[in-house]
Amino acid sequence: MPEVAADASAVPATRGELLLELSGVSKYFGGVRALHEVDLELYRGEVVGLVGDNGAGKSTLVKVISGVEHPDSGEIRVGGEPVRLETPRAAQSAGIHTVYQDLSLCDNLDAVRNVFLGQELTGSLLRGRPLDRHRMEAAARTVLDSLAVRVRSMSTPVGGLSGGQRQGIAIGRALISDPSLVLLDEPTAALGVSQRTEVLELIVRLRSQNRGVLVISHDLKDVQEVADRIVVMRLGSKVAEFARGQYSSGDLVAAITGAHDAPRPSEGDR
Ligand SMILES: Nc1ncnc2c1ncn2[C@@H]1O[C@H](COP(=O)(O)OP(=O)(O)O)[C@@H](O)[C@H]1O
Ligand SMILES: [Mg+2]
């Protein structure tokens, strides 16, 4: 696909529905400024990579969007309406689902139970609402199939599955609530090469399901491979945004490290 445009605008020609907007979002932890006046827009059908050094504010940004942390100032809008994402549940109701790095899978439970963890389907009220295993298994199969995640048996404990399969099940869990926006925190960390490829394919499938995807990653190669747009954070601020095909690896690294910043006047020894 020829994608290099002459002007360096980060906006592609056609764009899906605007799902989420952050304007001027700041967050302090005591004296630490974790987020400073961050503006961000996330669209349907787009994979956005979120990169930056340790302490740049990536996790805090994801937590603010997923209702785990609350901004001290600024506005969050979902579908154009200002919202307060007080809890992860509130974020989920707003169509936002987050897959954390630790995946929070229960190794002793099978794929079906893990996909439905905390959102189990119950049977008829008259029958005392036992878990509706049949419906859960069918629905779990549907979401895992939609991601092309293959597990040999839906009813063996997930503890023995590969890293890629486990990531698939964690993403499958996210899809049960049919979110419009999926946030992934370091999905390829600690994976081998073939499993990394598997997970990048999962991300592409989320996009082809017309969801918005925000991926945090330390691995710039992964991000460059999968992201339509890359947002760079440094010291709590959003410092750059690059559309696919409109940056070099060097641009990315320079934005992350601040290598191209003008030296401050007080730094006379430069
Ligand atoms: N719960 C917390 N309490 C105090 N400081 C925090 C907390 N969470 C993050 N921070 C600080 O906020 C800054 C941004 O952290 P974080 O969002 O985790 O960055 P990243 O994910 O990019 O590594 C860092 O200086 C970090 O030490
Ligand atoms: Mg982090």
**Ligand 1 center–CA 10 separation, angstroms:** 27
Is the CB–ligand 1 distance for residue 217 below 6 Å?
no
Please, where are the H alpha helices in 53-189?
58-65, 88-93, 111-115, 133-146, 163-175
123 compared with 33, residue with greater pLDDT:
33
Query: pLDDT band at 152, cuts 50/70/90?
Result: confident
Query: pLDDT band at 122, cuts 50/70/90?
Result: low
Contact 22, 38 (CB under 8 A): yes
**Ligand 2 center–CA 218 separation, angstroms:** 9
Spatial distance between the Cα atoms of 257 and 53, rounded to a whole number of angstroms: 7
Does residue 82 register a pLDDT over 70? yes
Query: pLDDT band at 13, cuts 50/70/90?
Result: low
In the block, which residue shows the tokens 């090469």?
193
Q: Report how far apart the first and last C-alpha atoms of the chain are (Å, whole number).
A: 43
Query: pLDDT band at 108, cuts 50/70/90?
Result: very high
**Ligand 2 center–CA 55 separation, angstroms:** 7
> Closest ligand to 56 CA?
1
Is the CB–ligand 1 distance for residue 56 below 6 Å?
yes
Is the CB–ligand 1 distance for residue 35 below 6 Å?
no
Average pLDDT value over all residues in the chain = 87
Is the CB–ligand 1 distance for residue 31 below 6 Å?
no
Report the atom number in ligand 1 closest to the C-alpha of 216. Answer: 21
Is the CB–ligand 1 distance for residue 64 below 6 Å?
no
pTM of this prediction?
A: 0.86
**pLDDT at residue 71 in the model:** 97
Q: At what angle do helices 163-175 and 193-208 cross, to 10 degrees?
A: 20
Contact 93, 84 (CB under 8 A): no
Does residue 267 register a pLDDT over 60? no
Query: 155: which residues sit within 8 A by CB, 6+ positions away?
Result: 110, 111, 112, 137
**pLDDT at residue 1 in the model:** 42
Contact 28, 34 (CB under 8 A): yes
Contact 110, 154 (CB under 8 A): yes
Report which protein residue has its CA nearest ligand 1's atom 25: 55
**Ligand 2 center–CA 232 separation, angstroms:** 13
Query: pLDDT band at 19, cuts 50/70/90?
Result: very high
Strand 73-78 vs strand 237-243: parallel, antiparallel, or unpaired?
unpaired
Report which protein residue has its CA nearest ligand 1's atom 16: 57
Task: From 25, 28, 29, give the residue whose CB has the most ligand 1 atoms within 8 Å, as the site to mutate.
Answer: 29
Report which protein residue has its CA nearest ligand 1's atom 11: 34
Maximum distance among all alpha carbons in the chain?
Answer: 78
Of the spans 1-10, 98-107, 129-138, 218-227, which averages the highest pLDDT? Answer: 218-227
DSSP 14: S
Is the CB–ligand 1 distance for residue 114 below 6 Å?
no
Buried b (16+ CB within 10 A) or exposed e, 7-45: eeeeebeeebeebbbbeebbbeeeeebbbbebebbbbbb
Does residue 46 register a pLDDT over 90? yes
